[in-house]
Amino acid sequence: MLENKMAQDTHAVEDLYDEIKSYGFNIESIVSGDVSAPKNIKEKVDKLISLDQNFYTKLLQQFVSEDFEEEEAKRLWFEILSHKYSISEKLGRNVGLKVALLDYLENIKGIIKSSKIIEEEEFIKTLKMATVDPLTGLYNRQHFFELVRTRIRQVKLYSIAFLDLDGFKLYNDAEGHQAGDLILQEFAFMLKNRFGSENNIVGRYGGDEFIVCMLGLGKEKSQQQMDEFRILVQEQFSAVKITVSIGVCEYPNDAKDLYELIAKSDELLYRVKEFGGNKVFRLRTIVFDYYPQPNQKSKEVSVVGDFNNWDRKQGMMEFVEKENKWTKKLLLKPGNYRYKFLIDTNFWQVDKNSTKFSDDGFGGQCSVLTVLEK
């Protein structure tokens, strides 16, 4: 609900800026008292100020190159108005906002060294670009993360899906950037139409990469939903031979925080690319068990293989005395892996429960594990 309200407030703010401008009024002229606006316009401006949590910050950004925190910007704004009224009284005429503002910030406060003044239309455009990707209309990367960081505090489980278009670069190079932009816009529309609910946050990560946060949903169900979407994309773009590769991970089972989760989702995405694209991968939990021989007393057992670069320390297993076994859980990407058990750092043993084996390159054998997509 919070993300939905934030999105509604963002759209309401943009609409109010556009509506006030459509009446022929400059917002800064109204709030500075340079013009007298009708009651209905003043009410819209008051509503705008109440909804836009960065109103005064953006207001000052029209005139100066400095970025101020909202509280500081608000304080400076009223100091500027006070200065404006003071010098207007001394001169016997209204000096105007821009003169007072630049005089106060540059000559009195010494805050700015160089100033800029931008048109209100450009100001409104900047406002929209602060949260929305201008090409696709999805949240841009920065605002996506702001929303996600706010929302994940309220949930114990969520998934991140990383999406990348297969074949887009070839199409874009062959047909031109305008044709490529149309593909990105159509894909973004499909993504938002499918996942644009209050339980999901959809953004453009950059280029032809997109990202979706699914709140309260584990990776298995997320993978299922993303796979249904993948099929839709394949059908929609079959004529231009564009598909989508997707990597899905969940918190807290796959990562300890948002940034690790994104990194792992990105890794999964590129594993999909290695397998030819047009798939949805998630990390799979694989349990390795080693049962020692009767009367075998081992101090240490590790499971090592392609999945951990044959690193003994990374693969160290835990002994479960009640079941007389050594065990280890690993999160693995789909694919084929060679592996062995290493007992007491010097004795190698294949997994007797494995059904596949291969040459280890040293005259012996390795067990082979196949981790499936689903």
Q: pLDDT tens-digit profile of 239-282?
A: 999 999 999 999 999 999 998 999 999 999 999 999 999 999 99
- Note whether 178 and 222 are same-domain residues: yes
- Note whether 315 and 237 are same-domain residues: no
Q: Is residue 136 part of a domain?
A: no
Mean pLDDT of the chain: 87
Q: What is the model's pLDDT at position 105?
A: 79
Domain that holds residue 341: 285-371
- Note whether 208 and 98 are same-domain residues: no
Q: What is the model's pLDDT at position 16?
A: 77
Nearest 10 degrees: Cα torsion 142, 146, 149, 151: -130
The Cα 154–Cα 365 span in angstroms is 49
Greater confidence (43 vs 91) lies with: 43
Average of pLDDT values for 291-318?
93
- Note whether 114 and 191 are same-domain residues: no
- Note whether 107 and 8 are same-domain residues: yes
Q: What is the model's pLDDT at position 223?
A: 97
Q: What is the model's pLDDT at position 122?
A: 56
The pTM assigned to this predicted structure is 0.66
Q: Is residue 95 part of a domain?
A: yes
How many domains does the chain fold into? 3
Highest mean pLDDT among 9-13, 21-25, 81-85: 81-85
Closest CA to 303 of 332, 327, 333, 331: 327
Q: What is the pLDDT of residues 141-186, one digit of tens each?
A: 888 988 898 899 889 999 999 999 999 999 999 999 999 999 999 9
Answer whether 307's CB lies under 8 Å from 370's CB.
no
The Cα 328–Cα 319 span in angstroms is 9
Domain boundary residue among 129, 153, 186?
A: 129
Answer whether 279's CB lies under 8 Å from 230's CB.
yes
State yes or no: pLDDT of 98 exceeds 60: yes
The Cα 208–Cα 277 span in angstroms is 14
Q: What is the model's pLDDT at position 225?
A: 97
- Note whether 149 and 38 are same-domain residues: no
Q: Is residue 62 part of a domain?
A: yes
State yes or no: pLDDT of 194 exceeds 50: yes
Q: Which of 97-101, 110-114, 263-267 has the lowest mean pLDDT?
A: 110-114
CATH number for the domain including 273?
3.30.70.270
Instruction: Report the run of H or E that residue 269 belongs to, with start and end.
Output: helix 258-274
State yes or no: pLDDT of 127 exceeds 70: no
- Note whether 156 and 235 are same-domain residues: yes
- Note whether 147 and 84 are same-domain residues: no
State yes or no: pLDDT of 337 exceeds 60: yes
- Note whether 120 and 185 are same-domain residues: no
Q: Is residue 135 part of a domain?
A: no
Q: What is the model's pLDDT at position 81?
A: 87
Instruction: Kindly tell me the sign of the dihedral angle through the C-alpha atoms of 173, 177, 182, 185.
Output: positive
Phi first, then psi: give them for residue 217, nearest 5 degrees. Answer: -120, 130
Domain boundary residue among 233, 265, 282?
A: 282
Answer whether 124's CB lies under 8 Å from 176's CB.
no
Q: What is the model's pLDDT at position 15?
A: 73
State yes or no: pLDDT of 362 exceeds 60: yes
Domain boundary residue among 282, 309, 327?
A: 282
In which band, very low, low, confident or very high, does the pLDDT at 2 lie, cut at 50, 70 and 90? very low
DSSP E strand boundaries for 175-232: 200-206, 209-215
Q: What is the model's pLDDT at position 73?
A: 84
Q: Which two tokens stand for residue 304?
A: 């090592």
- The amino acid at residue 318 is E
Q: What is the model's pLDDT at position 11?
A: 64
Q: What is the model's pLDDT at position 65?
A: 61
Give the rounded percent of residues in the chain with a pLDDT score beyond 70: 89
The Cα 293–Cα 10 span in angstroms is 66
In which band, very low, low, confident or very high, does the pLDDT at 84 lie, cut at 50, 70 and 90? confident
Q: Is residue 324 part of a domain?
A: yes
State yes or no: pLDDT of 53 exceeds 90: no
- Note whether 118 and 12 are same-domain residues: yes
Taking 3-state DSSP, the helix, strand and coil percentages for the chain, each rounded to the nearest 5, stand at 45, 25, 30
- What SS3 state is found at 345? coil
Answer whether 247's CB lies under 8 Å from 161's CB.
yes
- Indicate the angle between helix axes 2-22 and 120-129, nearest 10 degrees: 170
